[in-house]
Amino acid sequence: MFAVIKTGGKQYKVEVGTVLKVEKLAAEVNSEIEIKEVLMVGEGDNITVGTPFVEGAKVVAVVKEHGKGEKKINFKYNKKTYYRKKGHRQQYTTIEIKSI
């Protein structure tokens, strides 16, 4: 059985046991969260597509850890006298799908 969920503005295809890094969620480590924005659920040839979400479907996940991604550098340069260097580290949450 698989599902397509939406979290953090992105869509993910998940199955039971899948480990994902998603945008940071406001949940504590080792707590369970319910994701109710399920776009599609399928098992074999039986597929249910929501408009926009599937009624009554939810995905339960366990929060494993919070962290920061690798640093991205934004550098602008002009040979006269202008330069700017900025860095950004995106925060994420690692989750494991428990049930669909």
Between the alpha carbon of residue 55 and those of residues 5, 40, 49, 81, the distances in Å are: 13, 10, 10, 58
Q: For 4-58, what is each residue's pLDDT tens digit? A: 999 989 999 999 999 999 999 999 999 999 999 999 999 888 998 988 899 888 9
Domain range holding 94?
A: 2-99
Q: How far apart (Å, rounded) are the C-alpha atoms in residues 38 and 5?
A: 5
Q: For 31-43, what is each residue's pLDDT tens digit? A: 999 999 999 999 8
Q: Are 33 and 60 in contact (CB under 8 A)?
A: yes
Q: What is the pTM of this model?
A: 0.78
Tokens standing for 77?
Answer: 């340069």
User: Which residue has tokens 């945008």?
Assistant: 23
Q: For 58-100, what is each residue's pLDDT tens digit? A: 999 999 999 999 999 999 888 888 888 999 999 999 999 999 8
Count of the separate structural domains present in the chain:
1
Between the alpha carbon of residue 63 and those of residues 58, 59, 82, 98, the distances in Å are: 16, 13, 44, 10
